[in-house]
Amino acid sequence: MLTISIALIFSTLLIGTCSQGNKKCRERIRPVTTNDGDLYELIDATLDQKLVLECHYCGEKDDSRPRNWYKVNKMGLNEPHEVQPDMENNPELNRIQCIVLLSAHIAALARNLAEVNTEHSLIINNFTENDTGLYYCLGLEQQDESEKYNYLVDLVYEINQTEIESGNISAWMRYFYDYFEPANELLRLSNGKEYVHVREELKLRFELVSQWEPWGTCEVCGHAKGEAVRKKRGHCYIKITQNGKNTSYAEEDVYFLKVKAVSCRSVRLSRVFPGIGNLTKVIPDFIQHESCEGICNPDAEGVNRGWKMGKSKAFKYRKTFVLPVESHLTLVCPESTLDNEVTWKYRGKALHAGAATNPNVLVDTFNTLYLVDITEEQAGNYTCKVDDIKMQQVVVFVVPKSRLLTREFVRHLVYLGFILSLTGTCYCAGLIVTWNRRKTFKNFEELIDEHPEDRGEYEHLL
């Protein structure tokens, strides 16, 4: 299984871009020129960031077959080894987590939650230079050559966002002449010791290029007619080509022989070639704009992003449950995955995963909230945040079974139904409700059957 020949692993000039934020995935459709040009996605990581590598193509789901992560620490010098997740008891202390294991007690609870145990993302918290290397994810049984979830992760200096240049293609030409031309001339011709070493001893050719992400969506909403715009980012990269052989490379140089490109802001580049690093690490990236055509689609464009940006004061989703005592409720925070930071709160207090302070209220390590054998004490307001975004508020009412079918309770339901219809955009798909004692709970149809005289009062709810 580990027979992937590292000698084969050259490089590509693609960037893990489709990926959102810290989450990196591979594009299924890549502009592949040659097979060895398609072996991995280049990933830039900064010190202390959280990095999530996904074991599937962008926008697709994991197929839940067992998989393992492997790592090559030093390209061209090491054999791959299996990534060992940290085994601290406290998940918050773990720097490296593989989400593959389901502990038995959670497995029992999570029978209904097929989705949550199928991701195999590799999560690296607080990225350090020791985490750089080539990572890949392989199925335990199959080895489908077409599936390449390979990532070459390098540590880079943080970019100063205020210094990113942008504009149309003409502006990019100016950017090219201002930044790339002078640097490329030095790399080609300088008699500086380092430049000569790279060219004549290592026999490598360095050349600055813009490494383009795919175009973003066409931004139409809020733009005047004919002024819609789409953008793509060009990362400053050094393309490396080999022209000749030297049989005795120093260890630190081997990386540059094995890869086909390295970020202008690579920490490794600055360490091995400080002069070249000084020259390239200050070169900003470029965001190219281009006009485009389309119709305004707020969801696709993320116009509703206010929620996602955490700007909104209210919760995005609201939901109300009326539960008979002793019933169970299972809640998954909407729009979250295992890679997000999910915080459940009850009465202003955070509910910690795995903490067993209250046997009736549990959060497992997959951030699923369980209300078990509920009593009136557990009534109230449960909220969840996803990465600091106020995502969902669940108000839980608990009623004694004796009151379940009284006229008063039915009115209560109607009142709640009225609230629900005001907040009609309630999110349901992410919510999994299990009614272990479903027979003790009546739905609206059953209530109507039993109390036909109240029909008019709650018919509008059906």
Question: Does 20 sit near ligand NAG (CB under 6 A)?
Answer: no
Enumerate residues 381-410 that contact ligand NAG by CB under 6 A. Answer: 381, 383, 393, 395
Interacting positions 198-257 with ligand NAG (CB under 6 A): 201, 246, 248-250, 253
Binding of ligand NAG at residue 426 (CB under 6 A)?
no
Of the pair 20, 126, the CB lying nearest ligand NAG is at 126
Dist CA 139 CA 55 (whole Å): 10
> φ and ψ at 254, to 5 degrees?
-60, -40
Residues between 109 and 138 that touch ligand NAG (CB under 6 A): 125-126, 128, 130
For ligand NAG, the binding residue among 21, 91, 182, 274 (CB under 6 A) is 274
List 3, 5, 146, 162, residue binding ligand NAG (CB under 6 A):
162
- Can you tell me the distance from the alpha carbon of 255 to that of 266, in angstroms, rounded to the nearest whole number? 12
Stretch that binds ligand NAG, among 24-32, 160-168, 328-336, 399-407 (CB under 6 A): 160-168
Strand partners, 319: 394
Residue 168 or 241 having the CB closest to ligand NAG: 168
Q: Does 420 bind ligand NAG (CB under 6 A)?
A: no
85 or 139: whose CB is closer to ligand NAG?
85
- Nearest approach, Cβ of 7 to ligand NAG (angstroms)? 20
The yes or no reply on residue 88 touching ligand NAG (CB under 6 A) is no
What x-and-dash track marks residues 315-354 binding ligand NAG by CB under 6 A? ------------------------------x--x------
173 or 309: CB nearest ligand NAG: 173
Total residues interacting with ligand NAG, rule: CB under 6 A: 26
Task: Please name which of 359, 190, 174 lies closest in space to residue 278, comparing C-alpha atoms.
Answer: 190
* Interface ranges with ligand NAG (CB under 6 A): 48, 125-126, 128, 130, 160, 162-163, 168-170, 201, 246, 248-250, 253, 274-275, 278, 345, 348, 381, 383, 393, 395
